[in-house]
């Protein structure tokens, strides 16, 4: 079964480049493209792709970053219904700004990769997202560790399980931040790849559901450090 | 009312102040001359002649003396001063011009002469706001003096000056002077009536307007009876209301246009700033890339350097200290080292840093070892090179990972210093540890660990009292799954 993919990026060059790279993967079929917020939302609803490769910064719309608005206005498709599987979003960006990345993740994206990612890695990430797993790039893992880990002073005072990473999740995040692929993480920790994916999904859930405002404030503060 | 006419119509003239130097009596004539752009001698002669012919000049002089604050004529002119050497430019703003002292006849040229002639004189001092020194008390005194002068003038030429007619005049003049004294202030703040000075300005203007209106009403009503005065008042109020009604839309429109214009100017400034930056950096780099398009290594290097520069400009702008320097923190040093390696070898190095702390000598040793590991990675393996540094509550851990062929440390000849001396030896000396793990076909990972010195513990490489911390050469290398409740040690 092929994965139907919608490409959302305002740069035609990026779109064609990604299209070429993903063309080598027989499992992935690019079914559409969009260059701005409104088109993206319309396409997502019209095509109902399995995966949307979403640029974080998009023209159009009223919310910044534009990718966040696409996610917010496609929120009805993020959950699965009896008839339809959910549409899953993978953020793809050159942005280094933690608040942008955290914003799209918290709005429902299943992962974040940078545009420097290699073609095979991107294809693997798309497949992983299509399977319902989360995709963490080293940079995103670094953001997560920074937000939940040693850098966040309020961790000690917060008891909510959502606001903390378990020791195992931390280990997984650290290995991903060090550049390990999922299967390498699995081998390193003597666990299965599926378990790694479970941990990563749990971290993503915490990132999305953790209701502490500190998370977004942390992201904003990062720029001032 | 003759003296008021030139003063009201000139918002762009040099402000009416009494210069501190070049005075004969109180600097009034010199100030008026600068203000009106007339030769000071002519002004003085005029004052003397009018004083002799009935005393009006004398009274005007005294009135101005009381009203006009003393200050620097040059201070209002820095915007028009041509760019000169810094000392001259600075002196134009803060230093009393020396020209008028020696040559009273040329006071009118003070403003334009200053940048050239502005040698720092003994009276150099910081500029003080001249308008702020105007007091309502001065105005009252001045107004009374003027009234007296007019009365004298009137009786000289045979008028019977009724006091009832003089009073409104005094009030009007006082109010007008009050408003006028705020004119420059208001212009300076560009109608932004915010803050304490803005409020007091608004208050003074309002008081002046009220005074003028009251004076005019007094003059109109005169000595007529109270009922009539009431009707006149009502009529005047109605008329003013009508005029206000007609003019308000224009006023609002004008106000909005002003705001929009200022906003547009600010936007334009930002845009120009961005355009200038892009031109200096991105366009230059693109030109260089086109010129070097057949040298792929050079192109990568240029693109990478530019990307980094642009990123730090876009996302890292806030990290400069007040004095403009950047603190030497762990993160910054690691990034700087990675950038150096990138530039030298043309291989991108991805850096992820978690947490941050200030950097001491040991931290610098760690960065140096890390740098050596990066150099090895880019030299022997090539992209992608991943660097991960985490500042833990009890130390720093750093990892450099590549996807090269891997190598066997034991097989490296003993005379090669790179790994053994620059990385492992250096870390050992500073109480840290380093190990290299190479898996053939999967790449190499260098791990550096620098625990914080534990009191009364010698510089040993294992810290058994820290339960979470893995021994340096253990198998998994996951190291410290630091307790979540640990105190953060963020340096910033």
Is B484 a residue whose pLDDT tops 50? no
Same domain for A107 and A84: yes
**Higher per-residue confidence, B123 vs A41:** A41
Q: Domain holding A49: CATH number?
A: 3.40.50.2300
Residue among B384, B481, B490 minimizing CB distance to A167: B481
Determine contact: B390 vs chain A, CB below 8 A: yes
Query: Hey, CA dihedral for B113, B115, B118, B124, is it positive or negative?
Result: positive
Instruction: Among A132, A152, A167, identify where a domain stops.
Output: A132
From A91, A109, A132, the end of a domain falls on: A132
Task: Give which of A113, A171, A225 to mutate to test B binding, by max B Cβ within 10 Å.
Answer: A225
* pLDDT confidence bin for A6, thresholds 50/70/90: very high
Same domain (yes/no): A2, A100: yes
- Range(s) within chain B of domains with CATH label 3.30.565.10: 327-492
pLDDT of A191: 93
Q: How far is A196 from chain B (nearest CA, A)?
A: 14
pLDDT at residue number A190: 92
Q: B487 CB near a chain A CB, below 8 Å?
A: yes
What is the tally of structural domains in chain A? 2
* Listed residue (B59, B41, B72) closest to B3, CA to CA: B59
Residues A167 and A105 occupy one common structural domain: no
Which of B354, B487, B492 is facing A149, going by the closest CB pair?
A: B354
CB contact under 8 A, A146 and B399: no
B 306-325 near A (Cβ less than 8 A): 311, 314-319
pLDDT in tens, A173-199: 889 888 888 888 999 899 998 899 889
Contact yes or no for B488 and A153 at CB 8 A = yes
* A11-25, B59-73, B84-98, B206-220, range with the lowest pLDDT: B84-98
Three-state DSSP class for residue B447: strand
- Identify whether residues A154 and A174 lie together within a single domain: yes
Query: In this complex, is the C-beta atom of B486 within 8 Å of any C-beta atom belonging to chain A?
Result: yes
Q: What's the CATH number where A160 sits? A: 1.10.10.10
* Residues of the domain holding A16: 1-132
Residues A145, A220: one domain?
Answer: yes
- Same structural domain for residues A140 and A161? yes
Asked whether the predicted pLDDT for residue B104 surpasses 70, the reply is no
**Architecture of the structural domain at B327-492:** 2-Layer Sandwich (3.30)
Q: What percent of chain B has pLDDT over 90?
A: 2
**Cross-chain CB nearest to B388 (options A118, A152, A177):** A177
Chain B residues touching A141 at Cβ < 8 A: 352
CB contact under 8 A, B393 and A150: yes
CA distance B270 to chain A (A): 19
B384 part of contact set with chain A, CB < 8 Å: yes
**Are residue A112 and residue A178 in the same domain, yes or no?**
no
Residue with tokens 């012919």: B53
Segment B437-459 shows an average pLDDT of: 75
Residues A63, A128 within the same domain: yes
The answer on A124 and A164 residing in a single domain is no
Contact A151 B354 (CB under 8 A): yes
Residues A101, A179: one domain?
no
pLDDT for residue A149: 64
Does residue A99 share a domain with residue A78? yes
Domain final position from A81, A106, A132: A132
Beta-carbon separation of A165 and B484 below 8 A: yes
Mean of per-residue pLDDT scores for chain B: 69
pTM of the model: 0.55
Q: Does A178 sit within 8 Å of B487, measured CB to CB? A: no
pLDDT digits (tens, 9 = 90+) for B352-400: 888 877 878 888 888 888 888 888 888 887 777 889 998 888 888 899 9
Interface of A with B (CB under 8 A): 95-97, 116, 118, 138-139, 141-142, 145-146, 149-153, 155-156, 164-165, 167-168, 170-171, 174-175, 177-180, 184, 188-189, 223-225
Residue B467 has pLDDT above 80, yes or no: no
Distance CA B47, CA A147 (A): 77
């Amino acid at each position: 079964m092929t994965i139907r993919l919608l490409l959302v990026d305002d740069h035609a060059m990026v779109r064609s480049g990604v299209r070429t790279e993903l063309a080598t993967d027989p499992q992935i079929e690019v079914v559409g493209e969009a260059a701005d917020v409104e088109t993206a939302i319309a396409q997502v609803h019209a095509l109902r792709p399995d995966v949307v490769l979403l640029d974080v910064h998009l023209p159009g719309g009223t919310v910044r970053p534009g990718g966040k608005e696409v996610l917010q206005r496609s929120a009805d498709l993020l959950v699965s219904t009896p008839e339809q599987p959910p549409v899953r979003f993978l953020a793809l960006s050159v942005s280094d700004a933690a608040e942008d990345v955290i914003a799209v993740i918290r709005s429902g994206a299943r992962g974040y990769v940078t545009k420097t990612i290699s073609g095979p890695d991107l294809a693997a990430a798309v497949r992983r997202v299509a399977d319902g797993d989360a995709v963490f790039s080293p940079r995103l893992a670094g953001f997560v560790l920074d937000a939940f880990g040693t850098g966040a002073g309020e961790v000690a005072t917060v008891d909510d399980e959502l606001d903390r990473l378990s020791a195992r999740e931390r280990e997984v995040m650290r290995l991903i931040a060090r550049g390990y692929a999922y299967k390498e993480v699995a081998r390193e920790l003597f666990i299965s790849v599926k378990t790694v994916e479970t941990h990563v999904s749990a971290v993503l859930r915490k990132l999305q559901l953790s209701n502490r405002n500190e998370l977004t404030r942390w992201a904003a503060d990062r720029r001032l450090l | 009312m003759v003296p008021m006419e030139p003063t009201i119509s000139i918002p762009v003239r040099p402000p009416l102040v009494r210069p501190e130097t070049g005075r004969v009596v109180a600097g009034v004539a010199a100030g008026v001359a600068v203000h009106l752009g007339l030769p000071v001698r002519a002004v003085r002669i005029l004052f003397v002649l009018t004083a002799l012919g009935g005393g009006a000049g004398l009274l005007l002089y005294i009135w101005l003396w009381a009203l006009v604050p003393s200050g620097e004529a040059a201070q209002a002119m820095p915007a028009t001063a041509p760019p000169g050497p810094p000392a001259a430019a600075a002196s134009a703003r803060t230093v009393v011009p020396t020209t008028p002292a020696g040559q009273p006849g040329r006071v009118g040229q003070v403003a334009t002469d200053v940048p050239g002639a502005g040698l720092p004189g003994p009276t150099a001092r910081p500029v003080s706001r001249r308008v702020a020194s105007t007091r309502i008390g001065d105005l009252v005194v001045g107004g009374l003096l003027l009234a007296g002068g007019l009365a004298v003038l009137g009786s000289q030429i045979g008028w019977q000056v009724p006091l009832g007619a003089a009073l409104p005049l005094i009030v009007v003049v006082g109010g007008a002077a009050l408003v006028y004294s705020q004119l420059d202030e208001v212009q300076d703040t560009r109608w932004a009536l915010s803050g304490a000075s803005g409020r007091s300005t608004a208050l003074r203007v309002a008081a002046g307007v009220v005074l003028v209106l009251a004076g005019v009403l007094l003059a109109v009503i005169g000595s007529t009876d109270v009922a009539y005065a009431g009707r006149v008042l009502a009529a005047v109020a109605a008329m003013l209301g009508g005029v206000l009604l007609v003019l308000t839309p224009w006023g609002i429109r004008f106000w909005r246009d002003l705001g929009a214009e200022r906003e547009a100017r600010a936007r334009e400034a930002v845009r120009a700033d961005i355009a200038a930056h892009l031109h200096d950096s991105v366009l230059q780099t693109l030109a260089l890339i086109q010129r070097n398009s057949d040298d792929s290594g050079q192109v990568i290097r240029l693109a990478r350097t530019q990307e980094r520069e642009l990123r730090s400009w876009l996302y890292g702008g806030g990290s400069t200290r007040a004095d403009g320097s950047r603190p030497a923190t762990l993160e910054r040093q690691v990034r700087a080292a990675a950038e150096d390696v990138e530039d030298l070898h043309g291989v991108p190095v991805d850096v992820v840093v978690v947490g941050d702390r200030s950097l001491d000598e040991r931290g610098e040793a760690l960065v140096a070892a890390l740098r050596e590991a990066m150099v090895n990675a880019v030299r022997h393996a090539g992209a992608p090179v991943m660097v991960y540094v985490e500042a833990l509550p009890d130390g720093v851990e750093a990892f450099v990972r590549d996807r090269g062929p891997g190598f066997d440390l034991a097989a490296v000849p003993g005379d090669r210093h790179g790994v053994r001396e620059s990385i492992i030896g250096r870390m050992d000396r500073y109480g840290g540890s380093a190990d290299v793990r190479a898996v053939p076909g999967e790449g190499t990972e260098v791990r550096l660990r620098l625990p914080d010195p534990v009191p009364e513990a010698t510089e040993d490489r294992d810290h058994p009292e820290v339960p979470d911390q893995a021994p340096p050469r253990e198998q998994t290398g996951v190291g410290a799954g630091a307790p979540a409740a640990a105190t953060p040690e963020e340096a910033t």
